[in-house]
């Protein structure tokens, strides 16, 4: 399996792939690969001739130094996982300086307010960091399609906006959330949970499912109050936010509109680890 750590070499390789009319798929990751990532890779393999998987823990999207330091890193294991999937996979695993040179800074973006709520409100600068690395990856790889998981649904909508703003000629493919058997959304951060907490964290999805049920008959305000009261009773999990929002604009629900698609978004701390999840409500 080819592994590149320099943009120029990756670009040269991909130029030749394009000359052979090979469709190129990109799966951007921060490594510590799990079944959620593998499902993105499998979809990309079904739809493209060559699949680039990038593995890069992007420092500019972390608002918390401790979170960046503790983010799981397992490059050798990740390469083994990908090797087993297909010889069509090419890995891009650059160093920080190969991406940023000596200025590890984000660009600033105007994402039409999509970045001002939820993750954007609680993690200062996060989406500027995501925008910076995703723009660079999309411009370096110039894929026909790029694959993002719906677990980071806000990120997915922001990436769609980025592609529109920069007029990049590719398709963004959103892929469903993969869950552990008890419902916890798969995430590299789950590795940092103790076994007991990991089991308890199934409560997040259970609560989202209950909120989905309630959405048929109860107001968003009452559902949010109920969710808060459920977490107040939980000894292990701390709720950071629960928000019901319009899936397209991410605007918090005020007066419900019949044709609007709503989604519940949640962020929770468990063992000091921040977990996010979301669920379509209607
Ligand atoms: O979702 C992620 O893993 C990251 O935010 C991404 C898209 C790879 C950018 O660093």
Distance from Cα 171 to the centre of ligand 1, integer Å: 17
Instruction: Spot the catalytic one: 34, 37, 126, 182.
Output: 37
Task: Give the domains, in start order, of the chain with CATH numbers.
Answer: 2-175 (3.40.50.620), 188-276 (3.30.1300.10)
Nearest atom of ligand 1 to the alpha carbon of 137: 9
Distance from Cα 49 to the centre of ligand 1, integer Å: 23
Give tens-digit pLDDT for 100-146.
999 999 999 999 999 999 999 999 999 999 999 999 999 999 999 99
Per-residue model confidence (pLDDT) at position 228? 98
Residue among 237, 224, 281 at smallest CA distance from 257: 281
CA dihedral of 169, 45, 1, 190, whole degrees rounded to 10:
100
- Indicate the pTM of the whole model: 0.97
Closest Cα to atom 9, ligand 1: which residue? 130
Distance from Cα 258 to the centre of ligand 1, integer Å: 33
Quote the CA–CA distance of 234 and 229 in Å, as a whole number.
9
CB-CB neighbours of 213 under 10 Å? 11
Q: What is the DSSP-derived secondary structure letter of residue 252? A: B
In which residue are the tokens 């921040």 written?
274
Reply yes or no on whether 22 is catalytic: no
Average pLDDT of the chain?
Answer: 97
């Amino acid at each position: 399996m080819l592994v590149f750590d320099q943009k120029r070499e990756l670009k040269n390789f991909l130029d030749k792939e394009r000359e052979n009319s090979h469709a190129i798929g990109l799966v951007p990751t921060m490594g510590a690969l799990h079944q959620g990532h593998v499902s993105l890779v499998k979809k990309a393999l079904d739809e493209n001739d060559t699949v680039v998987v990038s593995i890069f823990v992007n420092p500019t999207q972390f608002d918390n130094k401790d979170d960046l330091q503790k983010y799981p890193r397992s490059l050798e294991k990740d390469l083994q996982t990908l090797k087993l999937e297909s010889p069509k996979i090419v890995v891009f695993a650059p160093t920080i300086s190969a991406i940023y040179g000596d200025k590890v800074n984000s660009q600033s973006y105007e994402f039409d307010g999509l970045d001002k709520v939820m993750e954007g409100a609680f993690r200062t600068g996060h989406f500027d960091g995501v925008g910076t690395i995703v723009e660079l990856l999309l411009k370096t790889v110039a894929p026909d399609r790029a694959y993002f998981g719906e677990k980071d649904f806000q990120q997915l909508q922001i990436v769609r906006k980025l592609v529109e703003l920069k007029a990049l000629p590719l398709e963004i493919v959103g892929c469903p959330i993969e869950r552990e058997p008890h419902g916890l959304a798969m995430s590299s951060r789950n590795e940092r949970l103790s076994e007991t907490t990991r089991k308890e964290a199934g409560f997040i999805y259970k609560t989202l499912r209950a909120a989905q049920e309630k959405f048929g008959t109860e107001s968003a305000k009452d559902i949010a109050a109920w969710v808060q009261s459920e977490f107040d009773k939980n000894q292990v999990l701390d709720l950071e936010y629960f928000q019901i929002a319009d899936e397209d604009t991410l605007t918090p629900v005020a007066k419900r509109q019949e044709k609007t698609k709503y989604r519940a978004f949640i962020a929770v701390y468990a063992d000091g680890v921040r977990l996010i999840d979301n669920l379509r409500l209607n």
